[in-house]
Amino acid sequence: MTERYVIAVDQGTTSTRCIVFDRRGQLVSLAQQEHKQYFPKPGWVEHDALEIWRNVERLAPLALRRAGITPDQVVAVGIANQRETTVLWDRRTGTPIGRALVWQDTRTDAVVNRLLAEPGAAQVQRRSALPLATYFSGPRVRWMLDHTPGLQERAERGEVLFGTMETWLIWNLTGGPRGGVHATDVTNASRTNLLDVRTLEWSPGALAFFGVPRAMLPEIRPSVEVFGAATAAFPGVRIGAALGDQQAALFGQTCFAPGEAKCTYGTGSFLLLNTGTDLIRSNNGLLSTVAYQIGREPARYALEGSIAITGSLVQWFRDQLELIASAPEIETLARTVSDNGGCYIVPAFSGLYAPHWRSEARGVIVGLTSYITKGHLARAVLEATAWQTREVVDAMNTNSGLTLTTLKVDGGMTADNLLMQCIADVLDVPVVRPMAAETVSLGAAYAAGLAVGYWSDLEDLRRNWHRAAQWLPAMDPAVRGREYDNWQRAVRRTFDWIQPV
């Protein structure tokens, strides 16, 4: 019998990957391509959506070839995507309207401030269970409609379509201008400020509030359901799932029960806690989000703590400061010293996310003395990720009433042994890496495979989860307390940096 496989397309912030998985959830082959990051102004971050689609077209056959398989051996493809990144395009030609506005982009600051002052703001935030913030797609659509002459009218007429990355890819995979399916899934829709998070439909109130025409919005589908069959990239293969990347990682870590949590360490880092069919509203800077929906079953929700800058701080250290040649070398450099030398880096490059949500904050390096070497800075870079995790875990414990006893981790930064030990130390709980660091892709693959019956149920998926590594806390509580206090003082120094215009 011919072996069959599932493919995940992980459309991330810095790169797009196609990964082939087998029935045990093991990686069979991988093809990856970075795409260009555009920074036209401070605080602006853009992607070329067409470049990303072309990368998918190029990577698909490459991944198949590397696995030594043909498309007919692929039962389904699942998509995991960078969330909140906003694409508008012409329905007729398939050409994007300008570049995609990336989730890190803070240009909607003024839009958000203006909208916050409007009477409907509280209602919109309650319906979507999200704060009004530059982070989400709704304000970006408003900004794009405002800054392209005639776009609002074209959008009203249904000539312009909106989508987050999965919507853009599904539309192109299923034919684009020739009958492409214009759909999103509940997890991505829950990051727009436009979704009524209870009914899982677009909220008419929110659409009116943002002035976003209904005609440009995609149809909302469950995360795990066949969206259609691909005609490009993977001709004939069914698209079995779409999930925001962090929700995909939660799925890939098989955190299916309420109380289970994971943290994915990538460009940014995201801690998600499954809260089951209950939507828990946050009172301390966490987000309530849809975790996943399997077919017509009730949706599962999650509490999320988002940290904007973690891996990208290492990239900054590599590309802007040029103190290391490759990201993993940060660990080599950090190990040249035994501690941070009193130095702390708070990477509020585009404000602070959870639990602070301060868009006016900007980064600081504090504690500089003539004693500080690049080794200390490297340590401070890694510790910044650990302490930001601690802040989120504290908020989550308070908000959910649950106490995190183990942190399941994944993502590229889990290869950094010093960082993983540091996280275990500052959280004072074991940190566990599963035998699949690529849980974002794995989650998309699991979801797609589940949709077409490749895996029978969630228990089937759970059996694939194994512990690959574990780091146990080994920090003196007094040191932990003192360092956390220093960190919190450093964080306060980032506040109120950008003055309102």
Residue ranges that bind another protein, judged by CB under 8 A? 24, 26-28, 30, 322, 326-332, 412, 414-417, 435-438, 466-471
500, amino acid identity: P
Contacts of 346 (CB under 8 A, 6+ apart): 352, 363, 364, 366, 384, 487, 490, 491, 493, 494
User: Closest CB to another protein among 67 and 130?
Assistant: 67
Q: Distances from the Cα of 3 to the Cαs of 12, 28, 149, 452, in angstroms?
A: 28, 12, 53, 16
Q: Minimum distance between the CB of residue 423 and another protein, rounded to whole angstroms?
A: 14
The response to whether 15 counts as a known ligand-binding position is yes
**Cα–Cα distance measured from residue 183 to residue 255, given in angstroms and rounded to the nearest whole number:** 26
Specify whether the backbone of 132 is left (phi greater than 0), alpha (psi in -120 to 50) or beta. Answer: beta
User: Closest CB to another protein among 355 and 449?
Assistant: 449
Q: Minimum distance between the CB of residue 313 and another protein, rounded to whole angstroms?
A: 16
Q: Minimum distance between the CB of residue 478 and another protein, rounded to whole angstroms?
A: 25
The response to whether 236 counts as a known ligand-binding position is no
Crossing angle of helices 109-116 and 137-147, in 10° steps, is 110
Residue 392 CA neighbour count, 13 Å, CB half: 29
Q: Minimum distance between the CB of residue 448 and another protein, rounded to whole angstroms?
A: 19
User: Closest CB to another protein among 73 and 148?
Assistant: 73
3-class SS letters over 294-328: ECCCCCEEEEEEEECCCHHHHHHHHHCCCCCCCCC
User: Closest CB to another protein among 156 and 329?
Assistant: 329
Q: Minimum distance between the CB of residue 324 and another protein, rounded to whole angstroms?
A: 9
Q: Minimum distance between the CB of residue 436 and another protein, rounded to whole angstroms?
A: 6
Q: Minimum distance between the CB of residue 9 and another protein, rounded to whole angstroms?
A: 17
Number of Cβ within 10 Å of residue 55's Cβ equals: 22
The response to whether 412 counts as a known ligand-binding position is yes
Name the CA dihedral angle for 54, 56, 59, 64, rounded to a multiple of 10 degrees. -130
The response to whether 310 counts as a known ligand-binding position is no
Token pair for residue 113? 């401030």
- Print burial letters for 131-140: b (CB count within 10 Å at least 16), e (below 16): bbbbbbbbbb
The response to whether 496 counts as a known ligand-binding position is no
Angle at 190 between CA 76 and CA 116, to 5 degrees: 155
User: Closest CB to another protein among 328 and 342?
Assistant: 328
Residue with tokens 């890939």: 252
User: Closest CB to another protein among 159 and 329?
Assistant: 329
The response to whether 32 counts as a known ligand-binding position is no
User: Closest CB to another protein among 286 and 437?
Assistant: 437
User: Closest CB to another protein among 100 and 436?
Assistant: 436
Residue with tokens 């981790």: 409
User: Closest CB to another protein among 59 and 490?
Assistant: 59
Q: Distances from the Cα of 103 to the Cαs of 106, 173, 315, 442, 485, in angstroms?
A: 8, 23, 17, 22, 30
SS3 for 338?
A: coil
Name the CA dihedral angle for 206, 210, 216, 219, rounded to a multiple of 10 degrees. -20
The response to whether 312 counts as a known ligand-binding position is no
User: Closest CB to another protein among 55 and 414?
Assistant: 414
The response to whether 367 counts as a known ligand-binding position is no
Under a CB-based contact definition with an 8 Å cutoff, are residues 41 and 52 in contact? no
Under a CB-based contact definition with an 8 Å cutoff, are residues 102 and 268 in contact? no
Under a CB-based contact definition with an 8 Å cutoff, are residues 236 and 71 in contact? yes
The response to whether 246 counts as a known ligand-binding position is yes
Q: Minimum distance between the CB of residue 183 and another protein, rounded to whole angstroms?
A: 31
The response to whether 267 counts as a known ligand-binding position is yes
Q: Minimum distance between the CB of residue 377 and another protein, rounded to whole angstroms?
A: 17
Under a CB-based contact definition with an 8 Å cutoff, are residues 25 and 84 in contact? no
Q: Distances from the Cα of 89 to the Cαs of 144, 148, 158, 176, 177, in angstroms?
A: 11, 12, 11, 11, 10
The response to whether 83 counts as a known ligand-binding position is yes
Q: Minimum distance between the CB of residue 444 and another protein, rounded to whole angstroms?
A: 16
Residues comprising the binding site for glycerol?
83-84, 135, 245-246
Residues comprising the binding site?
13-15, 17, 83-84, 135, 245-246, 267, 311, 315, 412
Residues comprising the binding site for ATP?
13-15, 267, 311, 315, 412
Residues comprising the binding site for sn-glycerol 3-phosphate?
13, 83-84, 135, 245
Residues comprising the binding site for ADP?
13, 17, 267, 311, 412
